[in-house]
Amino acid sequence: MTKIRKQFVVNERNEPVAVLLDLETFRQIEQLLEDYALGQSIRAVEDEPALAHEAARQRYARLKKAR
């Protein structure tokens, strides 16, 4: 497991209120979260039948227009 380097920001009562992460650690965490979300999305549809090539192209085109 990756060691997370962090610094705590504290208030006047010395209570932690925030965390500072170096940019590389933040990017690693962000990538892990994106990978996890993608895996969950794949699992959610793995039992659905695959689309034919043309149907997939049409669906993708609709998604691009919706942005």
Averaged pLDDT of the chain: 92
Give the amino acid at 47.
D
Domain residue extents for the chain: 6-66
Average pLDDT over residues 33-37: 96
- Please name which of 5, 63, 64, 2 lies closest in space to residue 31, comparing C-alpha atoms: 2
Q: Sorting pLDDT into bands at 50, 70 and 90, what band is 1?
A: low
The reported pLDDT for the residue numbered 52 is 93
| Structural contact between residues 5 and 21, judged by C-beta atoms closer than 8 angstroms | yes
Contact 6, 22 (CB under 8 A): no
What are the pLDDT digits (tens) for 42-66?
A: 999 989 998 899 999 998 899 888 8
Tell whether the model's pLDDT for residue 37 goes beyond 80: yes
Stated pTM of the model: 0.61
Rounded distance between C-alpha atoms, residue 6 and residue 2, angstroms: 12
